[in-house]
Structures are given as C-alpha cells and as structure tokens.
C-alpha cells in the first residue's frame, strides 16, 4: 500500500475523524451542546415510550429484557421494584395477556408468552 493511502486509512480510523450519524462533519460543538445531548436523548426516549403503559409496566418490561445468569439476581431486581417475586410474576402474567403491552414490546411479549405456554 502506498504511503499516502496508508496515511489516509490510518487517519480515517482515528476516533476524532469518525462522524456519528447525527453529527454534521466539520461542525464543532460547544460544551453546552455536548452536555445537553444525553438530556435530549432521554426526552426522545420518553416520547417513544408514550405508548399507554404506566411506569410500573415499563419497569417490568425493562427488567424482563435484561439477561440474568442466576435466578437469585433476577429475584433481587424484582425485590428492588418493591414486589415479592410471586406478586411480580402474577403481574407479568396479566401483562402478557394485555394487548397494550404486546403493542409496546411485541417480540418480548411473544417470547415470554411462548415460554409461559411451554411450561
């Protein structure tokens, strides 16, 4: 590889030359824009979650999306939500039959329904 092509390839691989999808090449950001970015992202995500689910239902779905290696880890997370495991699984079972929940997370609900029905 000629020196110029090699230098261009190495330069294009450096982090400062990578352009994120939502950034304009050559645009510099002020520190205020950089620190506000996570806030804008959080607001956008909360707008996407405006699906008719209450906050508890969203937290239960978020917990079910997580992967747990050990059953004890999941039970600790359930207790952190403020529920005994039996009450949590009863709520989850009711949620799996709710079409609002399925509309909000179809793949997750289908997978959980399949697991429930297999038992």
pLDDT, mean of residues 47-57: 76
Do the beta carbons of residue 66 and residue 77 sit within 8 Å?
yes
Q: What is the pLDDT of residues 13-45, one digit of tens each?
A: 444 444 444 444 454 444 444 444 443 344 334
- What pTM was computed for the model? 0.56
Does the pLDDT value for residue 105 go beyond 70?
yes
Burial class (CB in 10 A: 0-12, 13-18, 19+), 119: exposed
Does the pLDDT value for residue 93 go beyond 70?
yes
Residues 75, 59, 72: CA angle, nearest 5 degrees: 10
Confidence band, pLDDT 50/70/90 cuts, at residue 112: very high
């Amino acid at each position: 590889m000629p020196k110029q092509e090699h230098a261009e390839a190495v330069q294009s691989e450096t982090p400062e030359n990578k352009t994120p999808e939502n950034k304009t090449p050559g645009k510099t950001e002020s520190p205020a824009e950089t620190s506000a970015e996570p806030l804008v992202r959080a607001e956008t995500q909360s707008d996407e979650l405006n699906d008719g689910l209450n906050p508890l239902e969203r937290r239960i779905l978020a917990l079910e999306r997580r992967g747990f290696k050990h059953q004890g880890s999941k039970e600790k997370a359930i207790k952190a939500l403020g529920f005994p495991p039996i009450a949590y699984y009863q709520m989850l079972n009711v949620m799996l039959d709710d079409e609002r929940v399925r509309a909000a997370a179809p793949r997750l609900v289908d997978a959980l329904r399949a697991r429930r029905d297999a038992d």
